[in-house]
Chain A
Amino acid sequence: MPKTVLKEVKNTPKAQQTAAALTGNSAVAMALKQADPDVVSAYPITPQTTIVEELAAYAARDHLKGKFVNVESEHSAMSSAIGAAAAGARSVTATSSQGLALMWEMLYIAAGLRLPIIMPMANRALSAPINIHGDHSDAMGARDTGWIQLFSEDAQEAYDNTLMSFRVAEHKDVKLPCIVNLDGFIISHAIARLDIMSDDDAGAFIGESSPTYGMLTDDHVETVGAFDGLGGFYFEFKRQQDEALQKAKEVLLDVSNEFAALTGRSYGLFEEYMLEDAETAIVVMSSAGGTTRVAVDKLRAEGKKVGMLKLRMFRPFPADEIAAAIGHCKAVAILDRSHGLAGTGGPMGDEVKAAMYHLDDRPECLNYVYGLGGRDVTVENIESVYSDLDSLDSATNSNTGFRYLNIRD
């Protein structure tokens, strides 16, 4: 089992860094440009649009050497990224919500062909009713497509995750596409202070891409996407894919370690905040992690033993590592920014609970669905969750139950 969280890094940062005030989308566009992609295929969709707008501006000013391809839909954006990646190009795109939904069949093909395409996603609710604001419905719908998925708490993490995603996706033992999630508007459009690396240092960190198959040339031809029927190896290919996906955990930790030495910013598969002696804990992802941290600080000041596990890597799902980190708690609340619409709450709730099933002494679990369609989640909301956990009666709690946070009822 890989380590979940990295030790404090004492090294002096080696990369040349500049403080900047950027939106999350600008930060992500900067990271994509610094990765020197060969092909950007892009289609606009709120709240991702400014990522590809800025890439187009970089291309127009010749700051981005790669080919910028305007396409007629997200299905085509992903298709051309797949074609380019199969031919050996480092390919990137970006999307949100309905755009991801339109890419659907191609997501599986990108993963099945083992093409390390990088796709930042400004998370947004899915229609209907139409809503452009932030929740994780889009990302959760793609959770079993075979893509690596990272989640970011703020613009800095979105920038850092985007840089690191290239190293993980393109690693020779992984070779899988990666979605870098950032909350729509909350992160994508809010201006934040962050540290950015120089183009040279970022470029040196990411390095040259090594094509999955080899560059397609007149002398080197190959068949990609051939039929593989009943007598074939379809089943075996899926096992290869899953092993590669699991490998991404270890690779992410190695890459994060290297990144920490370079920048002083340290990341694991998830962040364990005040978890060690916590009696109750919240499991959460993305921007709500910041809100939860504030609530934890406030309650800790009152002497309450509360903690947070903020998940960074959602795919592959670090089930064993999560169980090891929160298994000692009396009660845990899992906060889902999407509705599973399965009658059992959110998908993260299901997965975190399943991760702890094998433990002899499991924490009581509550699953909350929150923040749909951009509904705000406040420090007070989070405090109410810790209060619910405190008063939880283990005799009456049903593990199949779920609750809503900040809903009109």
Chain B
Amino acid sequence: MTPTNKPHWDITGISKWDYTDPPRGALIPTGGNAGVYQTGTWRAERPIWDEEKCTDCMICWNYCPDASILVTDEKMKGIDFFHCKGCGICAVECPFDALKMVPEHSSEGEAKNA
């Protein structure tokens, strides 16, 4: 088999790929696939959101490097834990103490943010 470029990013059966299967030159032949990559497993700490203190000022949304602050109609709705890496920038920047970091394995806040 000759290595070929697949027209679409189809990684079905990737665990069984042999050396000819990955697209030549380590290409990822589509854009916008960061969305399907789970970076939430990298967290050592998780942000806890206090809805009572939140004023929907959008500072956390602005600062979040991973677009993990969920917002609908200009209202803060929670945190995208599939992608949130737990960097803590939101908790540092929040002027209203509406976000704080707790250890990832703490039970605090799980019910509200899950």
Roughly how many angstroms separate A226 CA and B31 CA in the complex, as a whole number?
12
Tell whether B65 is near chain A: CB-to-CB under 8 Å. Answer: no
Assuming the contacts A233-B19, A240-B19, asked whether A175 and B30 have C-beta atoms less than 8 A apart, the reply is no
- Nearest-CB distance from A148 to chain B (Å)? 15
In-complex Cβ contact of A224 among B17, B25, B30, B32 (8 A): B25
- The interface size of chain B toward A, counting residues with CB under 8 Å, comes to 18
CB-based A-B contact count at 8 angstroms = 60
In the complex, the chain A residue whose C-beta lies closest to that of B14 is: A233
Assuming the contacts A173-B2, A240-B19, asked whether A222 and B30 have C-beta atoms less than 8 A apart, the reply is yes
Is B19 in contact with A236, judged by CB distance below 8 angstroms? Answer: yes
Is A223 in contact with B25, judged by CB distance below 8 angstroms? Answer: no
Tell whether B111 is near chain A: CB-to-CB under 8 Å. Answer: no
Taking CB atoms and an 8 Å cut-off, the chain B residues in 42-99 that contact chain A are none
- Nearest-CB distance from A217 to chain B (Å)? 11
In-complex Cβ contact of B26 among A173, A214, A221, A233 (8 A): A233
Tell whether B36 is near chain A: CB-to-CB under 8 Å. Answer: no
Tell whether A113 is near chain B: CB-to-CB under 8 Å. Answer: yes
- Nearest-CB distance from A112 to chain B (Å)? 7
Assuming the contacts A114-B24, A212-B24, asked whether A239 and B19 have C-beta atoms less than 8 A apart, the reply is yes
Tell whether A237 is near chain B: CB-to-CB under 8 Å. Answer: yes
- The interface size of chain A toward B, counting residues with CB under 8 Å, comes to 24
In-complex Cβ contact of A213 among B17, B25, B33 (8 A): B25
Please give, as numbers and ranges, the residues of chain A lying within 8 Å of B25 by CB-CB distance. Answer: 112-115, 175, 212-213, 224, 237
Please give, as numbers and ranges, the residues of chain B lying within 8 Å of A360 by CB-CB distance. Answer: none
Please give, as numbers and ranges, the residues of chain B lying within 8 Å of A235 by CB-CB distance. Answer: 19
Tell whether B102 is near chain A: CB-to-CB under 8 Å. Answer: no
Tell whether B39 is near chain A: CB-to-CB under 8 Å. Answer: no
Please give, as numbers and ranges, the residues of chain B lying within 8 Å of A175 by CB-CB distance. Answer: 24-25
Is A225 in contact with B26, judged by CB distance below 8 angstroms? Answer: yes
In the complex, the chain A residue whose C-beta lies closest to that of B7 is: A214
Max chain B C-beta neighbours (<10 A), residue from A239, A240, A244: A240
Is B26 in contact with A228, judged by CB distance below 8 angstroms? Answer: yes
In the complex, 13 of the A-B residue pairs with CB atoms within 8 angstroms, ordered by the A residue number, are A112-B25, A114-B24, A115-B25, A212-B25, A213-B27, A221-B31, A222-B31, A223-B31, A224-B27, A224-B28, A225-B26, A236-B18, A237-B26
Residues of A at the B interface (CB closer than 8 Å) are 112-115, 173, 175, 212-214, 221-226, 228, 233, 235-237, 239-240, 243-244
Q: A173-B2, A240-B3 are in contact. List 8 more A-B contacts (CB 8 A).
A: A212-B24, A223-B33, A233-B19, A236-B19, A237-B22, A239-B19, A240-B22, A244-B3
Residues of B at the A interface (CB closer than 8 Å) are 2-3, 5, 17-20, 22, 24-33
